[in-house]
């Protein structure tokens, strides 16, 4: 008789029971660093004999406080980290958030803490390298499906073993398109799988409130229970986070090796991210960016420049061969525009491209200038090329 596959909730609960039983449960607690090798722990001031701030340089860099001095589970977790986690959880509509060193490490954390041998990770073929590496590292079977093909995702899940993670980028990093998240959430529910969304390029940009592709496509915490974001892109800082239920975050705190065994995010970065979050929420920069994207795409369409369908800041122009992408990039640079050529293995063979990314910082003249330089470099295809999205 076929037993239903283990759910994420069951896996989290059995891991929690086991660590409680073994007295191995660990929790981070906010510790405010003070001069003289001390910390404030709630009401008390303690001498800190657990940090790695051997020369006292992390603490002495006040007011910036350069470093956290230790991993979060030891003494590197400070009130500013806790505040950022609370603010991010509120922003994203999730119960809890776990900060980590980078998006790359966050994706390793999710895969290795949730899945292992006997489990299955199903991913879009164009998922970011860190999602692929996480799946490889955790030892689960990795199955990939054709880009944004939800029916293929369902087929891969149908013959999967163990715990099933259905993993996708929210916004694809080299293509700029948005994953069909609502359909993927339906497939995940039908197949008793857990949807994991890495929205590194969507959070801070998409959605009415800026909370990303999940907000834009109406996925709440139940439909997108594991949400990864980075502080290195729209937030303009560095670091990353994983958002979800309290049980998920507690599990990651205890089992996510790429977070546990690494120095906590610098408090200065957490502070900058808090300031960035306030600006994201306020909305002016997001609206400015959206108008730049529209302006760019309309200008491209008028000039017959064919872009991939994208309404995000990532606006790729596929040239095909490596040499054509390099040559176009060089011509643009000669004209004063820096646009990187992206080639295999970052993108599939035959799809080398210019990855044009727009920012709220660009003014209309710069955008027009780039479009004209593209035309001068021969990047316009047939006049009236279809530009959609
Ligand atoms: C989809 C996606 N996930 C994760 C990352 C990694 O994020 P970070 O730069 O914070 O390591 C990136 C960025 O390169 C990305 O594009």
* DSSP string over 44-57: EEEE--S---TTSH
Active site residue 201: yes
pTM for the whole structure: 0.94
Taking residue 148's Cβ as centre, other Cβ atoms within 10 Å add up to 19
Alpha-carbon distance of 199 to 327, in angstroms, equals 31
Alpha-carbon distance of 266 to 53, in angstroms, equals 12
Is residue 227 located within the same domain as residue 368?
Answer: no
Is residue 213 located within the same domain as residue 112?
Answer: yes
Of 256, 280, 304, the residue that ends a domain is 280
Of 250, 280, 310, the residue that ends a domain is 280
Instruction: Give, rounded to a whole angstrom, the gap between the first and last alpha carbons of the chain.
Output: 47
Which of 143, 201, 251, 362 is catalytic? The answer is: 201
Is residue 295 located within the same domain as residue 349?
Answer: yes
DSSP helix/strand/coil, 358: coil
What is the residue with the minimal CA distance to atom 3 of ligand 1? 200
Give pLDDT tens digits for 196-208. 999 999 999 999 9
Is residue 258 located within the same domain as residue 371?
Answer: no
Look at residue 384 in the predicted model and tell me its pLDDT. 34
User: By the 8 A CB rule, do 97 and 249 touch?
Assistant: yes
Look at residue 64 in the predicted model and tell me its pLDDT. 53
Q: Quick one: pLDDT band at residue 385, thresholds 50, 70, 90?
A: very low
Residue 40 lies in a domain: no
Active site residue 143: no
Q: How many residues does the chain have?
A: 389
Residue 386 lies in a domain: no
Domain CATH for 315: 3.90.1150.10
User: By the 8 A CB rule, do 266 and 248 touch?
Assistant: no
pLDDT over 70 percentage in the chain: 95
Protein residues with CB under 6 Å of any ligand 1 atom: 102-104, 107, 128, 130, 169, 173, 198, 200-201, 230, 232, 240
Radius of gyration of the chain (CA): 22
Look at residue 195 in the predicted model and tell me its pLDDT. 98
User: Is the model's pLDDT at 134 over the cut of 50?
Assistant: yes
Active site residue 47: no
Tell me which residue has tokens 């497939």. Answer: 187
Token code pair at residue 44: 């008390």
Residue 312 lies in a domain: yes
Look at residue 4 in the predicted model and tell me its pLDDT. 76
Residue 63 lies in a domain: no
Is residue 256 located within the same domain as residue 317?
Answer: no
Residue 62 lies in a domain: no
Which atom number of ligand 1 is nearest to the Cα of residue 131? Answer: 3
Please name which of 200, 134, 204, 146 lies closest in space to residue 171, comparing C-alpha atoms.
200
Is residue 241 located within the same domain as residue 175?
Answer: yes
Domain CATH for 88: 3.40.640.10
- Going 150 to 151 to 156 to 162, the CA torsion angle's sign is positive
Give pLDDT tens digits for 53-72. 888 888 765 555 588 999 99
Residue 102 lies in a domain: yes
User: By the 8 A CB rule, do 309 and 177 touch?
Assistant: yes
Longest CA–CA span in the chain (Å) reads 71
Is residue 256 located within the same domain as residue 291?
Answer: no
Look at residue 60 in the predicted model and tell me its pLDDT. 66
Is residue 242 located within the same domain as residue 333?
Answer: no
Is residue 102 located within the same domain as residue 81?
Answer: yes
| b/e burial code for range 282-297 (CB count within 10 A of at least 16 → b) | eeebbeebbebbebbb
What is the residue with the minimal CA distance to atom 4 of ligand 1? 103
Domain that holds residue 301: 284-376
Which atom number of ligand 1 is nearest to the Cα of residue 239? Answer: 10
Of 255, 280, 305, the residue that ends a domain is 280
Is residue 206 located within the same domain as residue 326?
Answer: no
pLDDT over 90 percentage in the chain: 89
User: Is the model's pLDDT at 271 over the cut of 90?
Assistant: yes
**How many angstroms is it from 317 CA to the middle of ligand 1?**
21
Token code pair at residue 256: 């996510």
Q: Quick one: pLDDT band at residue 300, thresholds 50, 70, 90?
A: very high
Is residue 99 located within the same domain as residue 119?
Answer: yes
Which of 71, 130, 173, 272 is catalytic? The answer is: 173
Is residue 165 located within the same domain as residue 94?
Answer: yes
**How many angstroms is it from 21 CA to the middle of ligand 1?**
36
């Amino acid at each position: 008789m076929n037993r239903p596959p283990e759910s994420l909730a069951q896996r989290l609960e059995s891991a929690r029971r086991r660590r409680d039983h073994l007295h191995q449960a660990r929790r981070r607690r906010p510790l405010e660093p003070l001069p003289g090798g001390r910390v404030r722990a709630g009401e008390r001031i303690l001498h800190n004999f657990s940090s790695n701030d051997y020369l006292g340089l992390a603490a002495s860099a006040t007011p910036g406080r350069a470093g956290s001095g230790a991993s979060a589970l030891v003494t590197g977790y400070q009130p500013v980290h806790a505040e950022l986690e609370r603010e991010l959880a509120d922003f994203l509509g999730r119960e809890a958030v776990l900060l980590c060193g980078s998006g790359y490490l966050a994706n390793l954390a999710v895969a290795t803490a949730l899945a292992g041998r006997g489990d299955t990770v199903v991913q879009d073929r164009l998922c970011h390298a860190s999602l692929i590496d996480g799946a490889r590292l955790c030892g689960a079977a990795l199955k990939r499906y054709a880009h944004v093909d939800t029916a293929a995702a369902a087929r891969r899940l149908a013959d999967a073993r163990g715990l099933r993670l259905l993993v996708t980028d929210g916004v694809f990093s080299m293509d700029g398109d948005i994953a069909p998240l609502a359909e993927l959430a339906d497939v995940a529910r039908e197949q008793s799988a857990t949807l994991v969304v890495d929205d590194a390029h969507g959070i801070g940009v998409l959605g009415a409130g800026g909370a990303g592709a999940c907000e834009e496509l109406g996925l709440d915490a139940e439909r997108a229970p594991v949400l990864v974001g980075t502080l290195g892109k729209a937030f303009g800082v560095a670091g990353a986070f994983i958002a979800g239920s309290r049980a998920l975050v507690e599990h990651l705190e205890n089992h996510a090796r790429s977070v546990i065994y690494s120095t906590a995010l610098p408090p200065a970065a957490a502070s900058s991210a808090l300031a960035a979050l306030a600006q994201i929420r306020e909305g002016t920069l997001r609206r400015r960016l959206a108008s730049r994207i529209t302006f760019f795409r309309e200008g491209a369409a008028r000039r017959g420049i064919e872009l991939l369908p994208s309404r995000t800041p990532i606006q790729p122009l596929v040239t095909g061969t490596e040499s054509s992408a390099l040559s176009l990039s060089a011509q643009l640079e000669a004209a004063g525009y820096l646009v990187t050529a992206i080639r295999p293995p970052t993108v599939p063979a035959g799809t080398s491209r210019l990855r044009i990314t727009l920012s709220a910082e660009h003014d209309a003249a710069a955008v027009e200038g780039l479009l004209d330089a593209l035309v001068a470099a021969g990047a316009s295809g047939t006049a009236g090329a279809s530009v959609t999205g």
